[in-house]
């Protein structure tokens, strides 16, 4: 073998190493702040970073395994700025045994040596809490447990880090005191002040996004806290949005399977106890008497029914349609009051729908000759997580050149045809499936398509045909009637 070929493996491994080696940074400080909630928990981590070499542009964030698997939404920004930074996740396999996950963040500009920047990782974890105890009577409290890793991992050396867990009330039941493991452990590694438990400060932590560090020093910490709001999940949301140019209408219908994921109700439900608790303004924290939803402005014909029928105890205050291109968003407010309070462990299935003027969410683009319609993925319910969602967008009959821009990728999306009464060719239908949606996912899918004039006319023609058949049928019926009548007379 010629000599120069021998150097190739060496060169390759050198290239691979220099690709894999993280650009050098140092964390001057990391502060992680966890807002404890029900099914959704918000985690904000601020990294004060310093470049150790000039031109450093890609900073790597590490998540622990549990954290990665519970996180259903995250975003990285420069502190105080609006636009999210470009991120690229390293491959991650759920079946692997790796205990950390890496995400590369492209900084807005390369840092100079000793240049600093504060970057913020905002994340929402879902199904991260469990009710404990798992059952509660109507008069008992509701308490939840949340577990996190003690240390924020990083491929870089960290000068100081802290983690703060914040409950909604100062009534905490317990929290883990970490085991003493290392030099960077302070004398009091955990302290409570009001509703907040602080772990740290931990000083001078070596690079920790590796299996050796994790095996030696990482440990779980659990906080057990009272939570005075119902813990809500939507097991399944089926939204169908039907666009009709003929009626200038956008109909949205949601079929919702709501579940109270708090402690299961122990014993019977007593309406008397419930009413007296309501009277003393001390409702059971795990009972859900009503929900407030923010629906779009300008809606009409709102309806709400459950398995028994129309629910007439709800109140809707409709806000008028906004002027075109107005920046301020107004909402119609629906106070949705089921027939009975939804207690821990109970399900409630209902349907909610409304019509809205199509002009409020559609635009016509002269340049492309296409309509562009904005369809919101969901109507958020404060604190609730949507475990499974199916969003169906039914376009007008004869729509062509269909394109869509989703705000984030779906588990699955497909195109099919939906045929209803009076349709001749059926309507193109887009279906999107999602998992674990939170308030952060309450964004819109934009769909654009063309409708030709003949397609516009198809509907009136179909209606006219139907009308004439009905007319002919009525004539025929009348004839038969006459005959019968005649027969009778005879
Ligand atoms: C960066 O800071 C270190 C320590 O303060 C100093 O020794 C070094 O000269 C600085 N480098 C640059 C390029 O400013
Ligand atoms: C359902 O209840 C609402 C509110 O009371 C009422 O306006 C509406 O007419 C009812 N709809 C039906 C189909 O009964
Ligand atoms: C709620 O619905 C889920 C899913 O359909 C089901 O597994 C569960 O048993 C239901 N709970 C109750 C109390 O009916």
Task: Write out pLDDT tens, residues 199-219.
Answer: 989 999 999 999 999 998 999
Q: Quote the ligand 1 centre to 54 CA distance (angstroms).
A: 11
Helices (H) and strands (E) counted in the chain, each on its own, are 5, 30
What is the model's pLDDT at position 100?
95
Separation of alpha carbons 189 and 154, rounded Å? 19
- Measured from CB, residues less than 6 Å from any atom of ligand 2 are 310, 312
Separation of alpha carbons 449 and 21, rounded Å? 46
Atom 5 of ligand 2: nearest residue by CA position: 312
What is the model's pLDDT at position 182?
64
Atom 12 of ligand 2: nearest residue by CA position: 310
Please count the other Cβ atoms lying within 10 Å of the Cβ belonging to residue 332: 19
Atom 13 of ligand 2: nearest residue by CA position: 310
Of ligand 2's listed atoms, the one at least distance from the Cα of 310 is 1
DSSP secondary structure letters along 15-74 = HHHHHHSPPPEEEEEEEEEEE--SSEEEEEEEEEEEESSTTEEEEEEEEEHHHHHHEEEE
**Residue ranges of domains in the chain, CATH in brackets:** 3-226 (2.60.40), 232-460 (2.60.40.1730)
What is the model's pLDDT at position 426?
78
307, with CB counted inside 10 A (0-12, 13-18, 19+), is exposed
Whether residue 12 has its Cβ less than 6 Å from ligand 1: no
For residue 13, the surrounding DSSP H or E stretch is helix 3-20
Whether residue 114 has its Cβ less than 6 Å from ligand 1: yes
Check: CB of residue 97 under 8 Å from CB of residue 133: no
Whole-structure pTM value: 0.83
Omega before 173 within 30 of 0, i.e. cis: no
Which residue positions in the chain have pLDDT lower than 70?
1-23, 181-182, 279-281, 324-325, 417-425, 453-490
Q: Quote the ligand 1 centre to 112 CA distance (angstroms).
A: 11
Whether residue 113 has its Cβ less than 6 Å from ligand 1: yes
Q: Quote the ligand 1 centre to 113 CA distance (angstroms).
A: 7
What is the model's pLDDT at position 144?
96
Read off the DSSP letter of residue 86: P
What is the model's pLDDT at position 5?
42
């Amino acid at each position: 073998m010629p000599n120069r070929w021998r150097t190739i493996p060496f060169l390759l491994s050198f290239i691979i190493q220099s690709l894999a080696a993280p650009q050098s940074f140092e964390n001057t400080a990391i502060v992680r702040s966890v807002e404890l909630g029900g099914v959704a928990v918000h985690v904000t981590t601020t990294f004060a970073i310093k470049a150790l070499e000039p031109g450093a542009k890609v900073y790597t964030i590490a998540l622990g395994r549990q954290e990665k698997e519970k996180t259903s939404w995250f975003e990285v920004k420069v502190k105080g700025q609006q636009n999210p930074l470009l991120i690229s996740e390293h491959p991650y396999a759920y079946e692997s045994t790796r205990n950390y996950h890496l995400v590369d963040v492209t900084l807005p500009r390369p840092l100079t040596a000793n240049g600093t920047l504060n970057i913020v990782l905002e994340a929402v974890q879902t199904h991260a809490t469990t009710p404990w105890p798992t059952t509660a009577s109507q008069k008992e409290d509701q308490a939840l447990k949340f577990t996190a890793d003690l240390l924020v991992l990083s491929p870089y050396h960290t000068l100081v880090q802290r983690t703060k867990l914040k409950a909604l009330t100062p009534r905490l039941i317990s929290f883990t005191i970490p085991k003493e493991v290392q030099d960077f452990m302070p004398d009091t590694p955990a302290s409570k002040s009001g509703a907040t438990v602080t772990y740290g400060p931990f000083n001078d932590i070596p690079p920790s996004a590796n299996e050796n560090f994790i095996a030696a020093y990482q440990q779980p910490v659990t906080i057990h806290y009272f939570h005075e709001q119902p813990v809500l999940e939507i097991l399944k949301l089926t939204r169908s949005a039907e666009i009709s140019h003929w009626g200038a209408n956008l109909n949205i219908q949601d079929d919702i399977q709501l579940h109270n994921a708090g402690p299961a109700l122990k014993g019977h439900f007593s309406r008397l106890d419930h009413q007296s608790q309501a009277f003393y303004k001390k409702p059971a924290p795990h009972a859900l008497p009503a929900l407030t939803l923010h629906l779009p402005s300008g809606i009409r014909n709102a309806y709400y029914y459950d398995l028994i029928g129309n629910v007439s105890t709800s109140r809707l205050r409709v806000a008028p349609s906004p002027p075109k291109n107005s920046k301020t968003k107004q909402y119609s407010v629906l106070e949705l009051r089921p027939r009975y309070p939804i207690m821990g462990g109970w399900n409630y299935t209902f349907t909610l729908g409304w019509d809205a003027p199509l002009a409020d969410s559609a635009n016509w683009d002269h340049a492309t000759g296409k309509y562009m319609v904005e369809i919101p993925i969901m109507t958020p319910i404060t604190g609730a997580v949507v475990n499974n969602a199916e969003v169906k967008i039914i376009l007008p009959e004869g729509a062509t050149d269909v394109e869509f821009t989703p705000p984030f990728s779906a588990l699955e999306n497909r195109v099919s045809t939906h045929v209803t009464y009076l349709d001749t060719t059926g309507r193109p239908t887009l279906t999107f499936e999602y998992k674990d949606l939170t308030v952060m996912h309450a964004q819109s899918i934009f769909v654009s398509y063309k409708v030709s004039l003949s397609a516009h006319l198809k509907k009136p023609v179909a209606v006219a045909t139907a009308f004439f058949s009905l007319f002919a049928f009525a004539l025929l019926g009348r004839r038969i009637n006459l005959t019968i009548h005649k027969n009778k007379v005879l």
